[in-house]
Amino acid sequence: MAHPALDLSLDAARLTARLVDFPSVSGEEKALADAVEQALRALPHLTVDRDADAVVARTNLGRDERVVLAGHLDTVPIADNVPSRLDENGVLWGCGTSDMKSGVAVQLRMAATVPAPNRDLTFVFYDHEEVAAELNGLGRLARNHPEWLAGDFAVLLEPTEGKVEGGCQGTLRVEVTTRGRRAHSARSWLGENAIHKAAPILDRLAGYVPRRVEIDGLTYREGLNAVRIDGGHATNVIPDFCTVTVNYRFAPDRSEEEAVAHVREVFTGFEVEFTDSAPGALPGLAHPSAAAFVDTLGVEVAPKDGWTDVARFSALGVPAVNYGPGDPKLAHTREEHVPVAAVLAAEERLRAWLTR
């Protein structure tokens, strides 16, 4: 299906609708990336580069500070919610309206309408955010072209309901396994039930008291939870194994290594296998660029409950926050939507920050 070129003269709300009407499920971002690249190359004040389906555009005005505005082009699979629909209450419905084509629309409007910002700007539009971490387009850019992501401060336009959300939690998963002995369930005394042996694991989780950690005035709430249980072979067999998958969401004052050590300590005496992790990101709100951003926008500041790609910027030494018009609670839902007023407010607040 052919799509018209993106018209960056449209306000951010109407541009959001156009972006939603470009289906771009993870792995199928090319058409939208092509349109974004074409629209940005038409702007003489920007230099534009591309890596696969990630597009990066930059001003080069010699300003004292460089800010990165970043957002992903892909969405989760469509759930009968494309094309977009604007209702009588000024609410735009459709896949990606919240997560995060409204944020991408705001980025594009800044690229088009602020040719001489008070800070040099880098605009990053990337692919494969909604799938496995190893496919993430921002991660690929960090490996292939870290210089494209260089900056003094970054804003990831993920949905935050118009709040500034500082940093993000880290996340890791482990598998805690018990072993037993198989037997016929009619002669259970001849076996050892590995599922029964998992009861103390669940008891430790049920009694666990998660930390609350204050960093830069923001309180991060941790969580340690069983998210999956696997065990057994058949309904007439005493199981000889049981594995409890545990997810730990940890405050960004802990490194991945410290978080793993903590989880192993919680499950002392059990077989624990680490499977994967991603580091958190400190909020960095004391950084002058972040402080100026918060001061200019004049909105609520909160911790980020969850993991986002701000952690990738943090790993590169770039302090970053989350800020976008969408509601994260609507992300990935069939009922995904965003108020037009929220998108326009985000557009105006960013413009004020970049022109004062």
Active site residues: 74, 129
Collect all residues with Cβ–Cβ distance below 8 Å to 135 and sequence separation of at least 6.
26, 128
311-314 long-range contacts, CB within 8 A, separation 24+: 311/168, 311/170, 311/278, 311/279, 311/280, 311/281, 312/136, 312/138, 312/139, 312/142, 313/68, 313/70, 313/149, 313/151, 313/154, 313/156, 313/281, 314/167, 314/279, 314/281, 314/282, 314/284
What is the distance between the alpha carbons of residues 51 and 28, in angstroms, rounded to a whole number? 15
What is the distance between the alpha carbons of residues 28 and 291, in angstroms, rounded to a whole number? 37
Tokens (6 digits) for 65: 């500070």
CA distances from 223 to 122, 149, 150, 251, 330 (A): 35, 31, 33, 9, 22
Nearest 10 degrees: Cα torsion 262, 267, 271, 276: -40
What is the distance between the alpha carbons of residues 201 and 318, in angstroms, rounded to a whole number? 39
Tokens 């349109």 correspond to 35
What is the distance between the alpha carbons of residues 79 and 95, in angstroms, rounded to a whole number? 7
Give the dihedral sign, CA 26/314/223/241. Answer: positive
